[in-house]
A and B are shown apart, each in its own frame.
Chain A
Amino acid sequence: DIQMTQSPSSLSASVGDTVTITCRASQGVGNDLGWFQQKPGTAPKRLIYSASILQSGVPSRFSGSGSGTDFTLTISSLQPEDFATYYCLQHRTYPWTFGQGTKVEIK
């Protein structure tokens, strides 16, 4: 199975900050990677697909980059509604695997 190592596991930030979350795959996944946001009690919501394509309706302050084994999710100018847990997912090879998650908390 492909292991997805996500970091950091948590971070504290203020409204207006820029936040970066990274995900490293144990083997290459091309650009078959998505980023998801999850708030308590709700299903994950896809923000980014194909590593860098913004899902329709998602604010442009979210961006993704990378290919192969190293990927980044950047949130520019953090907003109050962005405090949540974020996961990466590789869907190159089954079983599709998620990162362990990054909880973004208010400083």
Chain B
Amino acid sequence: QVHLVQSGAEVKKPGASVIISCKTSGYAFTYFYMLWVRQAPGRGPECVGMINPATGATTYTQGFQGRVTMTRDKSTSTVYMELSSLRSEDTAVYYCARGTLADWGQGSMVTVSS
């Protein structure tokens, strides 16, 4: 059974960075892209970017380029997303999701507040 388990909630000040982890199990880690999707309060989901766990190659949505970095650790089947220069508009639940979003993590709430 596929499991995606994310790190916990974070509260950050504007300008800070946050790193969220997504530990996977139950499938071949390198076989499926992993996406990061965020959802601001009361809003619909939006894609932040994706990583190919086999190669580490990444694709980021234009609005996040320069502020987001996605990495993976094949030894622990874990992917990471770092978002820097945080602002209040980054307050959202961040999800990792496998492939064409068949499986999702439980979400990590990131609150940006002074």
**Contact of A36 with B44 at beta-carbon distance under 8 Å, contacts A43-B95, A95-B61 already known:** no
Instruction: Decide: A94 and B50 in contact? CB cutoff 8 A.
Output: yes
In the complex, A87 Cα to B59 Cα: how many Å? 23
User: Which residues of chain B are near A44, meaning CB under 8 Å?
Assistant: 45, 95, 101, 104
In the complex, A97 Cα to B101 Cα: how many Å? 12
Per the 8 Å Cβ criterion, residues 17-43 of A in contact with B are: 32, 34, 36, 43
Does B53 belong to the interface (CB within 8 Å)? no
Interface residues on B, range: 10 to 19
Does B35 belong to the interface (CB within 8 Å)? yes
User: Which residues of chain B are near A100, meaning CB under 8 Å?
Assistant: 44
Please give me the 8 A-B residue pairs with the lowest Cβ-Cβ distance, nearest first.
Answer: A43-B104, A95-B61, A96-B47, A101-B44, A98-B45, A95-B47, A91-B100, A98-B44
* A-B contacts, 27 listed (Cβ < 8 Å): A32-B100, A34-B100, A34-B101, A36-B101, A43-B95, A43-B104, A43-B106, A43-B107, A44-B101, A44-B104, A46-B101, A46-B102, A49-B100, A87-B44, A87-B45, A89-B101, A91-B101, A94-B50, A94-B59, A95-B61, A96-B47, A97-B46, A97-B47, A98-B44, A98-B45, A98-B46, A100-B44
**Contact surface of B with A, Cβ cutoff 8 Å:** 35, 44-47, 50, 59, 61-62, 95, 97, 100-102, 104-107
